[in-house]
Structure 1
């Protein structure tokens, strides 16, 4: 005895088959999740940074690489005018608390830390992405005078062909000329 499917069941089955078939031939994605890595060419600490709202790590003066965080969404193909928004917080007096006489985390120490934090500075930059082909991560470079550059290269810092091989230990100028 054969059973026929109801019209609703037939319709549901056809939709399920269409979804299954279309899943097998899906177009490649337009955007990919891309790890973020930071490089600090300054004497300040970078307490945190974000790329298009996605969090990056924190790191001390003149440090970089080795600490990727996930992820910012970037297009798989470069196009002119492609930009990212970088936001960050700097601590200009790195390690000051190691010289404080107050016991760590005491009321007096916490008060002093609150005063210390009041000197942190917040920054924002819109940075154009340079042309890229294949890339592995989005590298964010923090330079003196709050200049930020990004690299989407599949080579790494220090290797020939990497776009921002400036030294990590750069001197801060007495005055800055950017804007």
Structure 2
């Protein structure tokens, strides 16, 4: 799930300047909540930020550019992290901002800056050229995120409910009125395959109606096959 490899891997920084290392940033979400954003803010350069992307539950983010760290570790290196969790489309965002003092770099050299979000609500920030699967990984969880059984069942149920709803829609009676076919034609003209739609004369074309009914039947068979697969693979 991580977009970064987890085992036996070292990751190099972006570039070096005098006494400083420009490094990429990333995040790992060990929780069952969606991380809406994370942003490292420089305490030394006003307006300098790095990060920003959402990270799905039990996944890792991509590498984002860039943040400057002292090339060699010393006590007292601090970074600021602002982040928020997905609340829903209709709810305001609730940002949290924290400062972290970086623990010693593995091997003493600055590496990628990681924001690590744990299921107990704690957050850790580390700088490391080693990914979570490496023996020298400094994160408190020695490996990548593993979805819980509860979360896997939740996602399975969402997938199953969506498929079941689609099946019920296809099993229900089709609106065979002229206005019903006109709505179907309008939708297919907008979202369907252009070449296919050009082969029909309009919503009253018997061949068009036959095509739609056949597509409904094919869709029903596919969704029922999916439901059968899901029923046999519930976590």
User: Which of the numbers 86, 93, 102 marks the counterpart of 1:129?
Assistant: 102
- Please state how far the C-alpha of 1:51 moved relative to its aligned partner: 1.0
Distance 2:50 2:75 in 1: 25
C-alpha separation in 1, matches of 2:118 and 2:94: 15
* Structure 1 unaligned residues grouped into runs of 5+: 1-27, 94-112, 172-179
Which digits, 9 at most, give the CA deviation of each residue in 1:71-121, with x for residues without a partner?
11111121111111110011156xxxxxxxxxxxxxxxxxxx3x2x33x43
Query: What TM-score results when the alignment is normalised by the length of structure 2?
Result: 0.47
Provide the rounded CA distance (Å) in 1 between the counterparts of 2:18 and 2:98: 27
Question: How far does residue 125 in structure 1 lie from its aligned partner after superposition?
Answer: 1.4
- Aligned twin of 1:156: 131
Q: Answer yes or no: is 1:49 the counterpart of 2:38.
A: yes
RMSD: 2.1
The change in CA–CA distance for 1:166 and 1:155 in structure 2 (over 3 A counts) is closer
Closer/same/farther in 2, CA of residues 170 and 148 from structure 1, 3 Å limit: farther
- Residues 92 and 61 (structure 1), Cα distance of their counterparts in 2 relative to 1, 3 Å cut: farther
Cα distance, 1:127 vs. partner? 1.0
Quick check: which one's strand share is greater? Answer: 1
Q: Which has the higher helix share?
A: 2
Query: Which one has the largest radius of gyration?
Result: 2
- Does residue 58 of structure 1 match 2:57? no
Structure 1 residue runs of 4 or more that deviate by more than 3 Å after TM superposition: none
| Matched residues, number | 121
Question: Which runs of 5 or more residues in structure 2 are unaligned?
Answer: 1-16, 42-47, 149-235
Preserved contact between residue 73 and residue 110 of structure 2 (Cα < 8 Å): no
TM-score, normalized by length of structure 1? 0.60
- Higher relative contact order by CA 8 Å / sep ≥ 6: 1 or 2? 1
